[in-house]
């Protein structure tokens, strides 16, 4: 749960640098047409799951049973009756336990806080990489490498330090609540840096009479960067007539001497990429810093008999429920934005 996402980023960074068919090509990852070997990730994860499941095959098909001391029919009847009673008691106890934990205001507040934080984290993890690619003109490989390695150390150190501080400071329920409020306040303040560490929008060459006379297909878009450090929507709009491997030449719309363009965006000289990565790493560290105090806070807001159910309810709300809600919100946002 902690190391999975950064390790996946590192794996994705490597396979995204490989061409889709694993054959040599003149294109580079900076080319908008580039498609990495995404299928390798599914292959690696699938093989890893199969290997991890192999030890299960070592279990016997049937466990050794003691010889029955009663007639089989009578024993089966008693066993079924006992199972029904146990199931009824478990269901009754589950409902009563759920009622008890739902009557705990502090548990409900903790549950809502954790769910909202997980909602933010899921959305940020889903979109942060693509945002950084577009905002800072980086490839998927560059972003994954920049985030993956530092995040592993941030998550590990944050989880360890959170547990160590909880033990050393002997934080009780009150201490965990205060620590959580302080941590969330710092998180909110640091997240404001996202509004500062940004780059200006990519600018493209303005249409000129020469471009309009080329009769280019407006639906055919291939972002290219000219030698004059100007972005064009396509080689056609740059007036290019020749192509050598991955370079378009003889571009009449470019004022430079070489008159050529290459796929991708021009470097706008935005200096904020390292600062943005540092902000992401710090936020990851602070998020993991609250894992252990968060568990302590959950189990100490309810009675000891209800602690297992409280942890299960919290895990359900912070994982499956959040993922479903995030998917719905993302679909709605995309539909609204595209429709607008």
**What value does the mean pLDDT take over residues 307-317?**
88
- Class of residue 265 by CB neighbours under 10 A (exposed 0-12, middle 13-18, buried 19+): middle
Tokens of residue 124, six digits: 């940020």
Residues 84-97 pLDDT 10s: 787 788 888 888 98
pLDDT, tens digit (0-9, with 9 covering 90-100), for 145-167: 888 888 888 888 888 999 899 88
pLDDT computed for residue 186 by the predictor: 92
Q: What is the mean pLDDT of residues 280-304?
A: 89
> What number is the average pLDDT over the span 118-133?
79
Which residues, in sequence order, are bridge partners of residue 204? 231
pLDDT digits (tens, 9 = 90+) for 26-61: 777 777 777 888 888 889 888 988 998 888 888 877
- To which residue do tokens 């008691």 refer? 89
DSSP states along 190-227: HHGGGGTS--PPP-BPPP-HHHHTT---TT----EEET
Q: What is the pLDDT of residue 339?
A: 56
| Domains of the chain from N-terminus onward | 104-200+270-339 (1.20.1250), 202-267 (no CATH)
243 pLDDT higher than 60:
yes
Query: Could you tell me which of 10, 249, 239 has the C-alpha nearest to residue 129?
Result: 10
- Listed range (145-149, 234-238, 323-327) with the worst mean pLDDT: 323-327
Which pTM was predicted? 0.72
Kindly state the percentage of the chain with pLDDT values over 70: 87
More confident site: 299 or 74 = 299
Question: Which region among 54-63, 64-73, 318-327 has the lowest average model confidence (pLDDT)?
Answer: 64-73
């Amino acid at each position: 749960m902690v190391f999975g996402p950064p390790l996946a980023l590192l794996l994705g960074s490597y396979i995204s640098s490989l061409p889709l068919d694993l054959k040599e090509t003149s294109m580079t990852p900076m080319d908008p047409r580039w498609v990495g070997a995404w299928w390798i990730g599914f292959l690696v994860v699938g093989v890893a799951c199969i290997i991890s499941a192999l030890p299960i095959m070592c279990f016997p098909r049937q466990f050794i049973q003691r010889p029955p001391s009663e007639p089989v029919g009578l024993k089966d009847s008693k066993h079924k009756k006992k199972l029904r009673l146990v199931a009824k008691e478990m269901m009754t106890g589950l409902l009563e336990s759920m009622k008890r934990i739902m009557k705990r205001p502090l548990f409900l507040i903790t549950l809502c806080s954790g769910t909202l934080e997980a909602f933010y984290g899921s959305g940020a993890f889903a979109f942060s990489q693509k945002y950084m690619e577009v905002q800072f003109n980086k490839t998927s490989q560059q972003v994954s490498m920049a985030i993956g390695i530092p995040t592993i150390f941030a998550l590990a150190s944050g989880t360890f330090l959170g547990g160590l501080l909880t033990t050393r400071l002997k934080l009780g329920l009150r201490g965990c609540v205060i620590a959580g409020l302080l941590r969330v306040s710092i998180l909110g303040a640091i997240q404001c840096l996202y509004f500062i560490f940004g780059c200006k929008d990519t600018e493209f060459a303005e249409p000129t009479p020469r471009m309009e006379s080329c009769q280019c297909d407006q639906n055919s878009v291939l972002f290219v960067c000219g030698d004059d450090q100007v972005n064009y929507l396509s080689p056609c709009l740059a007036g290019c007539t020749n192509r050598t491997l991955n370079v378009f030449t003889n571009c009449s719309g470019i004022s430079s001497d070489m008159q050529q363009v290459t796929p991708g965006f021009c470097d706008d000289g935005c200096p904020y990429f390292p600062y943005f990565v540092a902000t992401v790493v710090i936020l990851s560290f602070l998020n993991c810093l609250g894992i252990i105090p968060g568990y302590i806070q959950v189990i100490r807001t309810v009675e000891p008999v209800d602690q297992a159910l409280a942890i299960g309810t919290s895990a359900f709300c912070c994982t499956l429920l959040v993922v479903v809600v995030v998917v719905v919100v993302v679909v709605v946002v995309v539909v609204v934005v595209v429709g607008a």
